[in-house]
Amino acid sequence: MHIVVCTKYTPDSEAKMSVDEEGNISWGDSPLIINPWDEYSVEEALLLRDQHGGTVTVLSVGPEAALEALKHAVAMGADEAVRVWDEACAGSDTLATSYVLAKAVEKMGDVDLVLCGKSTIDAQTWQTGVALATRLGWPSLMYTINLVELRSEERSITVERLLEEGRQVVEAPLPAVLGTTKGINEPRYTSFIGIRKAAQMEYPLWTLEDIGAEREKVGPQGSGVRWPEVFEPPAREGEAEIIEAETIEEKARILTEMLLAEKVI
């Protein structure tokens, strides 16, 4: 089994975002971390590897800072890590990023399964995984909450997807792209031995040429999304009301009436 995990670096989840006059986004001096949702993918990949054998490769499209995400995944236990970057990739949207990811996965050649997190905590588009599956022409198994069974001999997989209305069990042939979601597992912490490996390992850098990607399909010119204006959302206004009553039951009754009146419930 060759399992690839796509991962991205993001600012720490406690970082505060700000936007300046020119529309530049800043996350202050927040430390960079692996996108927290990707930790579930790395964990699931490690569990699968331990069960079925094989290798786990983590893949990230990004500048040098992307090494933070790769190192974290290696420190968790991933075997290999690849970074793809070219200055031309800066400003890519999910359309362009998924193109680069697909090219990198195709270059690897022998991939059985690609795992992605459900979204990134900074951009929150929820699109990259689906886009990657479409580009590769592989089944897309997004929002997987439970990996029921992987049959490596038969080259097929059964997963349980978390949908708004409930759960759905689906079966798909391999190779496939699987999007994990919170609850699928409990990601492990990085370990001393893993960190030693992560700190000493070489992280190969693949260029656009290496993966055979066309320049016009990456960066802003390869992107479908434009950002005409970026601004800080206006501060939220609202009123707080404290419900006064003798008993907790009475308070609950008043609250329910108010919520019904406002048509919230």
Partner 1 sequence: MDFGWTEEQRLWRRAVRDFAQNEIAPRVREIDEEEFIPREIVAGMADVGLLAPTVGEEYGGAGADWMMATIAAEELGRADISLAVPVLYLVEAAWGFIFYRYGSSGLKQEYLPRVTRGEAFLGIATTEPGGGSDILGACRTRGQRDGDRWVFNGEKVYISGVRESLDWGGIHLMLARTDPDEDAGHRAFTFFALPLKGTGGVIPTYFDDMGRMGISTGGFALDEVRLPLEHQVGELNKGFYHAMEGFSAARTLIGATCVGASEAALAMGMDQIKLREAFGRPIASFEGVQFPLANLYTDLEGVRLSTYKAAWLMDQMYRHGAATHHDIALAAAMAKLKAPRLGFSIMNEVADWHGAMAYTKECPIEMGIRGIRSYSIGAEGTPNVMRMIIARELLGKDFLPTLYTNKS
**Contact residues for partner 1 (CB under 8 A)?**
31, 71, 75, 188-193, 195-196, 198-200
Pull the structure tokens for residue 36.
């927290």
Instruction: State the nearest-atom distance from the C-beta of 198 to partner 1, in Å.
Output: 6
- 6: amino acid identity, one letter: C
In angstroms, what CA-CA distances link 9 with 120, 171, 185, 218?
A: 9, 31, 20, 19
d(CA 177, CA 115): 6
If the CB atoms of residues 77 and 129 are measured against partner 1, the closer one turns out to be 77
User: At closest approach, how far in Å is the CB of 189 from partner 1?
Assistant: 5
Beta bridge partners of 156: 151, 173
Distance, in Å, from the CA atom of 72 to the CA atom of 191, rounded to the nearest integer, reads 10
CB of 34 vs partner 1, minimal distance in Å: 11
| Distance in Å, CB of 191 to partner 1, minimum | 5
**Is-contact 82 57, C-beta < 8 A?**
yes
